[in-house]
Amino acid sequence: MHILLLLSVFQHTLAGLQPLCRDDERSALLQFRQSLTVAQCSFDDYPSAYPKVASWSQEEENSDCCLWDGIKCNKDTGHVIRLDLTSSCLHGSINSSSSLFQLVHLEWLVLSNNHFNFSEIPSEITNLSRLTALSLSNSSFYGQIPAELLELSKLESLDLSFNNFHLKLQNPSLANLADKLANLKVLHLGQVNIASTVPHALANLSSLFFLSLTDCLLQGEFPAEIFQLPKLAFLTLTYNHYLTGKLTQLQFLRLAENQLEGSVPNSIFELRNLQALDLSYNNLSGTVDLNMFLLNLKSLTSLVLSSNKFSLLTGTNVSTNLPNFTVIGFRSCSISEFPYFLHNQDQLVSLDLSSNEIAGQVPQWLLNVSTKSLEYLNFSDNLLSGFGQDLFVLPWSKMNTLDLGFNKLQGPLPVPSSVSIYSYLVSNNQLTGEIPIQICSLNGLHALDLSYNNLSSMLPECLGNFSVELSALKLQAINFYGIIPQTFMNGTNLMMIDFSNNSLQGRVPKSLANCVKLKFLNLGDNQITDVFPSWLGTLPELAVLILKFNNFHGEIEEPQTGFEFPKLRIIDLSHNRFTGNLPSKHFHCWNAMKDIKASKLTYLQVELMPYNVLGFTYYGYADYSLTMSNKCIEIEYPKLSNLITAIILSDNNFVGEIPASIASLKGLRTLNLSNNNLRGYIPLTLSNLTVMESLDLSSNKLTGQIPQQLVELTSLAFFDVSHNHLKGAIPQGTQFSTFTNDWFAGNPGLCGEPLSRKCGNSEASPAEDDLPSESVLAFGWKIVLAGYASGTIIGVVLGHIFCTRKYEWLIKTFRLHPESSGRRRRHTHRM
Ligand SMILES: *[C@@H]1O[C@H](CO)[C@@H](O)[C@H](O)[C@H]1NC(C)=O
Ligand SMILES: *[C@@H]1O[C@H](CO)[C@@H](O)[C@H](O)[C@H]1NC(C)=O
Ligand SMILES: *[C@@H]1O[C@H](CO)[C@@H](O)[C@H](O)[C@H]1NC(C)=O
Ligand SMILES: *[C@@H]1O[C@H](CO)[C@@H](O)[C@H](O)[C@H]1NC(C)=O
Ligand SMILES: *[C@@H]1O[C@H](CO)[C@@H](O)[C@H](O)[C@H]1NC(C)=O
Ligand SMILES: *[C@@H]1O[C@H](CO)[C@@H](O)[C@H](O)[C@H]1NC(C)=O
Ligand SMILES: *[C@@H]1O[C@H](CO)[C@@H](O)[C@H](O)[C@H]1NC(C)=O
Ligand SMILES: *[C@@H]1O[C@H](CO)[C@@H](O)[C@H](O)[C@H]1NC(C)=O
Ligand SMILES: *[C@@H]1O[C@H](CO)[C@@H](O)[C@H](O)[C@H]1NC(C)=O
Ligand SMILES: *[C@@H]1O[C@H](CO)[C@@H](O)[C@H](O)[C@H]1NC(C)=O
Ligand SMILES: *[C@@H]1O[C@H](CO)[C@@H](O)[C@H](O)[C@H]1NC(C)=O
Ligand SMILES: *[C@@H]1O[C@H](CO)[C@@H](O)[C@H](O)[C@H]1NC(C)=O
């Protein structure tokens, strides 16, 4: 719910001729503008953003500041009374001497959706004593909210939300605020760090119409009197354990993602004016009878009960005078058939019946439901078998999101009729036949996921170019054969292409070089015959390149200028027929693997277009997923974090030595060079790769000793040097004491723990002539006492272990990491 919508409820209308603005106020405005920078507006994220201050100028013909963007003056006095700079791409600090506080006639100040560089709210805000509306939402303000702000006794609307928990309301407290700002109608404190119980004083705010205390770290019980506020119509809460009292005026009730337990409170059915009810993502249990909602809450248009622990009984005998719904969310409600009340619903916009147990064919009547209004349809994760015999064009003409994934759909691929569709997801079914040519007409598509079906078809020629919007194209494992079309156009938005696990032949299409936004390319497990596509190195964003299990061959040539793979983090060329030396010059260029720390943990993902229902925005993501395997272990990454890095060149015919240059890739976490024909020593410089977690050099022809310095790699969880010609003592201590003997097997010259062969005196310490040519003294014989590092966060990991139990250790070091501080409303597309 955008707060401005609510603000516009209040009357601040102005009209008529504007006198010239006052000199002092004009110069205060210009000075304010001068103190900030206008950052690059990112229209992708925020289409309505533009730098309003761009129109402000000192030029004579434009000197009436009352006509500038974002400003309104009082028509009689000429004083600036409104300043609205929402989403203006402003960046910079505000302090107590800001000229903003000279604009003492302001009644309305909106600075939301900018970046004020973690400024504290200056106490001079008290200068703006006429303010009735103040919004500092989502603007990177910081610190304790000053007591002076509570002096603004005329405030009717206060929005301090979404400053990422950086704003605190503790001293003064929420109770103080409620005492002082008695005229509040709108109070939005989402993600303000309040960290207290909910004060009873809030119940004194008799004009309150909108109250959001989402994510405020509140504890304790919610005071029942607040529900009795006569005007309260919109309430969103977290940490609410208590729901009682008369809320009969309440029109919107959103208790999603609280910790509500027990059964659905009966008092809800007394909220006769309720239009929208969202109880999703709580721990409510028992059985819930849909009839109770249908019979009692006649004004309901939005009912979201998703993801609780109750079973929803949807059998109904109510057939007349039903509420007309726009939003139905019954995700994960233990439903086993399509609720019959949907029969007569012709205004639905969003219908989510995913993660239930609905089996069999989609009934014919459902294909008549809301055909002209439905935009979002999610039936994924059920047991559906099809849409009837002949049907393959779906009737809904406004559909923009269709998710039928994870069912048992058979027959031909159903194609949406809506040209405005942007997410079309039908992975993990049993669909057969060709990809219908109609797909090529869906020219607004952002995401297409047909993975894991039995489509057995050539790739349609239109694939690279039918929609300039297309950003995620997932066609894994669907029996595609033939040649990848050469049709990727200039100007495409493609960020993710996954054609893995098919039977594609021919070469990597050169037109992929047109996909300048590409971040993720997976052509693994096909029959592609080509040399290394070094020309992909021009792609400025490419982070993940998977070519494993194909017929790639030949030497990897030195990179040319401009072909450097600047953002590459994961490369997997395993199981091909590459020859020649390892691409050491390439290693030098892969800059993205040189950083050890990312400033913030994020996931590599493609953001899809946000989707709006009744003021709530849902964000879709297509995650990169990936499987990486060692000999005995396969790790599946349903999501990849921005920290992950890997070079996997195993099972080829690389020869020569391991180049020392690999040590410049300081952020490297996985290196697999196994099953090649590498010779020479294990380079000492590998000990420079301090975040390394998995190192596999097995089945080569390496000689010499295992460098003692490798004990410094305290994150190392997997280390396999088996089947080489190594000799001498295995280093002891730190991680090495956790390694299993298989990892050293097949090297007759090795001795010491964990092998049973003890070292003789001559082997106990490395002999001079065994040492690699690099200077040992440069590194010293540092003994690492720091203990074993606990491993780092790589992402969400599912591990499959094939061999000994010892490998469990590896799995445990990868911690599950939920997305931190993400907006709770985010809604993840599972792709
Ligand atoms: C406030 O910021 C301005 C720059 O924007 C700076 O010149 C001034 O010294 C600062 N004043 C205080 C009190 O920090
Ligand atoms: C943000 O604040 C930091 C220090 O507080 C300062 O170094 C930096 O220049 C500021 N950035 C802008 C755009 O004002
Ligand atoms: C506050 O307002 C007064 C005029 O009422 C003005 O003189 C003073 O400079 C203002 N303070 C700030 C910090 O702008
Ligand atoms: C916060 O503002 C930024 C622009 O500064 C915008 O991209 C983002 O979507 C806004 N977030 C919310 C929750 O409105
Ligand atoms: C509400 O206001 C009345 C009168 O101003 C005051 O006596 C009472 O203590 C307030 N209630 C709370 C809970 O603060
Ligand atoms: C829901 O209940 C389960 C146990 O039944 C508990 O583990 C979980 O944390 C609860 N979730 C919330 C959000 O309270
Ligand atoms: C409708 O079903 C409810 C139980 O779900 C029952 O109590 C009620 O009597 C039924 N009404 C009619 C008219 O059959
Ligand atoms: C639902 O809409 C129909 C017509 O579109 C109308 O006749 C009916 O009264 C509406 N129901 C309610 C409960 O508003
Ligand atoms: C769907 O609606 C059409 C026209 O409104 C009607 O002719 C047809 O019988 C309906 N089909 C079903 C299965 O209800
Ligand atoms: C693609 O665009 C680039 C410049 O943006 C241009 O040099 C190139 O010729 C274009 N290629 C095609 C096939 O249009
Ligand atoms: C390895 O690290 C040492 C010390 O940090 C540094 O002097 C050396 O240049 C590094 N070697 C390489 C190949 O990066
Ligand atoms: C559909 O529902 C599933 C399971 O409830 C969810 O994971 C997925 O993200 C939803 N799809 C879309 C496109 O919202």
Could you read off the pLDDT of 263-285 as tens digits, one per residue? 777 767 877 778 888 888 878 88
pLDDT at 6 (0 to 100) = 31
- Which tokens in the block code for residue 660? 């020392």
Which of 531, 481, 529, 533 is closest to 512 using CA atoms?
Answer: 533
pLDDT at 598 (0 to 100) = 58
Q: Is the CB of 368 under 6 A from ligand 9?
A: yes
- Identify which ligand lies nearest to the alpha carbon of 324: 8
Could you read off the pLDDT of 188-208 as tens digits, one per residue? 998 899 888 889 999 999 988
Nearest CA to ligand 6 atom 8: 283
Q: How many CB atoms lie within 10 A of CB 762?
A: 9
CATH code at 104? 3.80.10.10
Query: Quick one: pLDDT band at residue 718, thresholds 50, 70, 90?
Result: confident
Report which DSSP code applies to 662: G
Between vectors from CA 664 to CA 662 and to CA 669, what angle results, nearest 5°? 70
Is 360 a domain residue?
no
Q: Is the CB of 320 under 6 A from ligand 8?
A: no
Q: How many CB atoms lie within 10 A of CB 127?
A: 19
* CA dist., res. 128 & res. 111, Å (int): 14
- Local structure of 302: helix, strand or coil: strand
User: What separation in angstroms does the CA of 249 have from each of 20, 270, 399, 637?
Assistant: 46, 10, 34, 48
Mean pLDDT over each residue of the chain, to the nearest integer: 80
Contact (Cβ atoms closer than 8 angstroms) between residue 376 and residue 354: no
- Cα of 93 vs centre of ligand 1, distance in Å, is 9
Which of 395, 384, 433 is closest to 411 using CA atoms?
Answer: 433
Q: How many CB atoms lie within 10 A of CB 350?
A: 25
* CA dist., res. 452 & res. 464, Å (int): 20
- Local structure of 287: helix, strand or coil: strand
Is 58 a domain residue?
yes
Weakest-pLDDT range from 231-245, 285-299, 642-656 = 231-245
> Which residue has tokens 């909220």?
271
Which of 248, 585, 618, 156 is closest to 423 using CA atoms?
Answer: 618
Is 747 a domain residue?
yes
Which of 11, 114, 15 is closest to 66 using CA atoms?
Answer: 15
- Cα of 335 vs centre of ligand 7, distance in Å, is 20
Query: Quick one: pLDDT band at residue 694, thresholds 50, 70, 90?
Result: confident
Is 234 a domain residue?
no
DSSP element (H, E) containing 25: helix 23-34
Nearest CA to ligand 12 atom 14: 829
Beta-strand (E) ranges in 565-682?
A: 570-572, 577-581, 605-607, 611-613, 616-618, 621-623, 626-629, 633-637, 646-648, 653-657, 670-672, 677-680
pLDDT at 258 (0 to 100) = 56
Look up the domain containing 727 and give its range. 646-804
> How many structural domains does the chain have?
2
- Local structure of 804: helix, strand or coil: coil
Nearest CA to ligand 7 atom 8: 317
- Local structure of 464: helix, strand or coil: helix
- Cα of 831 vs centre of ligand 6, distance in Å, is 26
pLDDT at 606 over 50: yes
Phi, psi of 599 (to 5 degrees): -65, -30
Phi, psi of 535 (to 5 degrees): -65, -15
Beta-strand (E) ranges in 45-91?
A: 71-73, 80-84, 90-91
- Which tokens in the block code for residue 687? 């000990």
pLDDT at 807 (0 to 100) = 31
* CA dist., res. 615 & res. 251, Å (int): 14
Is 140 a domain residue?
yes
302 beta partners: 276, 327
Q: Would strands 749-751 and 80-84 be described as parallel, antiparallel, or unpaired?
A: unpaired
Indicate the residue among 171, 197, 223 that finishes a domain: 223
> Which residue has tokens 């604009």?
103
Is 421 a domain residue?
no
Is 271 a domain residue?
no
The identity of residue 302, as a single letter, is: S
- Identify which ligand lies nearest to the alpha carbon of 161: 4
- Cα of 368 vs centre of ligand 9, distance in Å, is 6
Is 366 a domain residue?
no
DSSP letters spanning 513-572: GG-TT--EEE--SS--EES--GGGGG-TT--EEE--SSEEEEEPPPPPTT---TT--EEE
Global pTM?
A: 0.67
- Which tokens in the block code for residue 149? 């702000």
- Cα of 335 vs centre of ligand 6, distance in Å, is 21
Weakest-pLDDT range from 7-16, 363-372, 626-635 = 7-16
